Every structure is written in C-alpha cells, then in structure tokens.
Amino acid sequence: MGLVLARQLANSGALIGLLARDLDELSRARATIPAPSLVQLLEADVTVASQVERAVDALVRRFGRIDVVINNAGQILSAPFADTTDADFKAMIDVHVWGMLNVTRAALPHLARHRNGRVVNICSIGSRIPVPHLSAYCTSKFAQAGLSAVMGEELREQGVRVTTVMPGLMRTGSHVQAWFKGDPPAEFALFSLVAGLPGTSMSAERAARLILAASARGESEAIVPCTVRQIAKAAALFPNLSLAALRGVQRLLPKPGSRFAVQGQQMSLNPVLQAAVTLNERAADRNNQR
C-alpha cells in the first residue's frame, strides 16, 4: 500500500522519502515510482526509534522540510488464537503501534514548524471488527487506531492534522508476505481468496486515491470504501448481531494445529484458486511483494 501511495504522490509532484528495513527492496520499489530523482531512500526499522530519527534527519537535510507522514508499515498473521504466541502479539504491536509512534515522534517537530502538517495512519477495519484468526493483528490495530485518534486531538494544537484510515481488504498482493499458522495451507488459501476477489476487496490504486483525498480534506477518520464503512456502522449499531455472525464465520475456519509459521510465498494455490485471485497475484508482482 505504501508503494502505491508513493506512486500517486509522485505523479502529483511530491518529493518522497521511502522508508523500509531492506535497501535492496527500497531500490526495487524506487524503480517503479515516477520521477525517481525525487525519491530519498531511507533504510530503517520503524520499531527502532534511533534508526527512524536518523532517517528523518536525512530526509530533512535533502528536502528541507516534511509536510506529510504516512504510517503504513504492517504485518499480517492469520492463525487460530490457540496457535498465536506471545511473540506474535509483541511483533504486531511493535510494528503497528511502536512503529507508528516512533515515526510520528521523529517527524513531529518538522510537521509542526509550518503548522500545516499531516499524519496519515493506515490502520484497518480490523481495528473495529474482531476478525477470527487475526487475534494478534486486531489487537495491535485496535491499539493503533486508539493512539491515532488521541494523536489527532492533541496534535491539532500544534497545527498538525491526523487522519486515521480504516480500509477494508485491499488487493496489494499481501497474501504473499503474510504469515500463517495452525493449518498453514488452508489458512493461506482462505486468506488469498477473501483478499483477492473483487467482491470482497478493492484495488490498491482505488484505496490510495480515497486515502489521499481524505487526508487532503483533513478528515479525522476515513473508513474506505463505502461498503466497508456501512459494515462498520452496522457493527456499531448491532454489536451482538455482528458478533453472532462472526461466530458463524469462526466455525467455518481451519482448526488449530501447528505453531510453526509459514509465509505465503512459500506455499502455492491450486489452479482454480490461482485463477480466482489473478488480480491479487498481479498486484503482488506490481507492488514489490515477491
């Protein structure tokens, strides 16, 4: 998602700092962004505050200022609660909560300097709806969305607007990089199908346009697309009914099994499923997920 957002911002003429842990991955990503001379590569782990601070300093030295920060670093683990370990919860919280906090803190003095800064925090509809088999992910996303909302209220006094984004499933090719436990092949097949069908997911490019538009308008919260926004409203209005529906989903999911995590790119789909998720497979190639 971060790469798709960067492409759209580059098309608008923005100067971009692209941050990730792997310099080779950053170089591959840069080659897909228009006007690559306007992109600064920043090698850092968002969970390590000192690395983030050095990266932000390098960006300011090159471009002179920071106007917008998009916190998009993320991980996905699909696993039964019984197979989800303490380390899994910690890893998700480290990236989604501490990562967002570290980047925002490092950039805040620069964002506040011209009193028109923006912070865009990419959370998830999983921060509103407790999705079965995403216990570690939802835990971290609920915390992330709460922190983002508080930031939005407090940073407003410094001239910095915060947009908390809660997107539904997006066809970014994330199934390739996600991790799976319990019955990994079954979890992978189900996740790939739900995250890859047009009826249950939206294109990353459309999501990026909606996210950037909401940020430009200064919205405090953006749930995208409209269909997901209606689902979130229904869940808030009828919480018990919503939870009953999720219990029905839970009964259909694979049973607990192994605590050994397998990454999506280490598994394959049968030909029928492969054909059904063609759009997401293409997105994985296009968005540097391989």
* Active-site amino acid positions: 137
CA distance 269 to 192: 9
Under 8 Å between Cβ of 160 and 168: no
Helix 239-252 to helix 226-237 angle (10° resolution) is 110
Q: What angle is formed at CA 229 by the lines to CA 214 and CA 252, rounded to 5 degrees?
A: 135
220: which residues sit within 8 A by CB, 6+ positions away?
A: 149, 152, 161, 162, 163, 164
- Kindly provide the b/e burial profile for residues 235-245, where b requires at least 16 CB atoms within 10 angstroms of the residue's own CB: beeeeeebeee
CA distance to 35, 68, 162, 211, per residue, from 150 (Å): 36, 18, 9, 19
3-state helix, strand, coil in the chain (%, to 5): 60, 15, 25
Amino acid at 143: A
DSSP states along 220-274: SEEEESHHHHHHHHHHHHSHHHHHHHHHHHHHHSPPP-EEEEEEGGG----HHHH
CA distance 145 to 202: 21
CA distance 180 to 23: 26
In a 3-state reduction of DSSP, which class is residue 178?
coil
